[in-house]
Structure 1
Amino acid sequence: MTIKILLVDDQNLVRAGIKSLLGLSEKVSVVAEASDGSEVLAKVEATEPDVILLDLSMPVMDGIATLAALNQANIATPVVILTTFDDHELVLRGLKAGAKGYLLKDVSLDSLIQAIETVDNGETLVQPALTERLLQGLSTIAPEFELPAAIEALTTKETEVLRLMASGYSNKEISTALFKSEGTVKNHVSSILTKLGVRDRTRAVLLAIEKGLLS
């Protein structure tokens, strides 16, 4: 079955380039395009895409605001952020806002298709090429953050909870998704933080990216 794509980017040439690239594969199809986030909700309703490829830096309504609008409208369509090397702070904000992952705009066709298939299957995407640059940006975003030398292994259920944390889910939303009580989820989150040696969810996700725990 062809995966339907909504492509959101304010730069016409970028959109055309990505659409042309996707057109080389029979696995995906661009069913709609938008030049900023203000068009996204209507496009989603009209075309019911399987995956949204979303630029972050756009006029009128940027990617972060778009993710917030999708969450507010209870739209669960997985979103992949389209970014450049200089967008590390926005990427972190985007992941926290619920994006399933991120990609460079000059990504290869194979990597792009693989990424789309990954999030369409309900998984979280982390592109290794961005990890080092993303973590370098922590000096300004979270200067006190330090990566521990070693971490304790997570259980299968804890890894599942961590994936949902990385996607921006609250404890209540995770409990609904996993059919567990909110108290059970809180216990899992507490265990994850302890095992990773971090004090909050954001640092847990950042460490998970660095250690490849979400791949």
Structure 2
Amino acid sequence: MVDDHELVRLGVRALLQCQVSASGTTVEILEAGSLADALALYERHEEAIDLVLLDIALPDTQGLNGVTQLHARYPDARIVVISGTGASSLAQNGLAQSALAMGASAFLPKSANLKEVLSFIRACGVLGSDVVDGLPPLSSNTPPSARSLSERALQALSPRHVPVLQLMLEGKNNREIAEAVHLSEGTVKNYVSTILLRFGVRSRAQLISSLR
């Protein structure tokens, strides 16, 4: 479990331990608060790690760079990307597509419910089916995907543009985005212009309005 928020790690650990105790399953949970710590843990316990829950907002990486670095060093690692950003469902969808394209096994928003979290872990063979089958059913109130120009534009974005879009939606300026994704401010300016053009808008305000 890689997340820089101790309460998040504590919550996931408690969630898993609570659910597996009744089934008799034993699950060891390793925790890291940064990508560097996660890489060091993985190196020491590579053979024993079945799954990596990786937050995309860590002190030493931003966006999907963590997926790229972890997957490059350990191509066989099974990674589930977790995201707690306040971006719209369309932006989350774009992040999910990019994460999968970079080698992640799944994408999970932190707003997901208990059964979704455990289903992802079960899919990797960490939990038994009885652990998940006893949980309440998923809500059927998930809003449908928007069938719009904005959705098509989002799906057409390259993986390089998605982290920039995410930070734009968080209200970051070009300098802040450049620092977060480790690009020059000029490159970020070009990315921003491309994103605005793709969505057919002239300003960040219009972009945010179209995706909210």
TM-score by length of 2: 0.51
**Alignment-derived partner of residue 3 in structure 2:** 9
What amino acid is aligned across from residue 60 of structure 2 in structure 1? V
Change (3 A) 1:104 1:142: closer
**SS of aligned partner of 1:115:** helix
RMSD, aligned α-carbons: 3.3
**Alignment-derived partner of residue 138 in structure 1:** 151
Contact 1:37 1:63 in 2 (8 A): no
2:18 aligned with 1:24: yes
The structure with the greater share of residues assigned to strand is 1
Change (3 A) 1:61 1:115: same
**Alignment-derived partner of residue 115 in structure 1:** 120
After superposition, the C-alpha distances for 1:40-88 in whole angstroms (9 at most, x for unaligned) are 2211122231001111122212362222122222331211111246251
Contact 1:8 1:35 in 2 (8 A): yes
**SS of aligned partner of 2:18:** coil
| Structure 1 unaligned spans of 5+ | 1-6, 122-126, 145-215
| Structure 2 unaligned spans of 5+ | 127-137, 158-212
Contact 1:38 1:66 in 2 (8 A): no
Partners in 1 of 2:4 and 2:71 — Cα distance? 21
**Alignment-derived partner of residue 93 in structure 1:** 98
**SS of aligned partner of 1:54:** strand
Partners in 1 of 2:104 and 2:64 — Cα distance? 9
Q: Number of aligned residue pairs: give it.
A: 133
After superposition, the C-alpha distances for 1:169-198 in whole angstroms (9 at most, x for unaligned) are xxxxxxxxxxxxxxxxxxxxxxxxxxxxxx
Contact 1:68 1:97 in 2 (8 A): yes
**Alignment-derived partner of residue 77 in structure 1:** 77
**Structure 1: 4+ residue segments shifted above 6 A:** 127-131, 134-137
How many percent identity over aligned positions? 23
After superposition, the C-alpha distances for 1:137-196 in whole angstroms (9 at most, x for unaligned) are 63552469xxxxxxxxxxxxxxxxxxxxxxxxxxxxxxxxxxxxxxxxxxxxxxxxxxxx
Larger Rg: 2
TM-score by length of 1: 0.51
Contact 1:78 1:120 in 2 (8 A): no
What amino acid is aligned across from residue 45 of structure 1 in structure 2? E
Partners in 1 of 2:147 and 2:6 — Cα distance? 30
Change (3 A) 1:134 1:68: farther
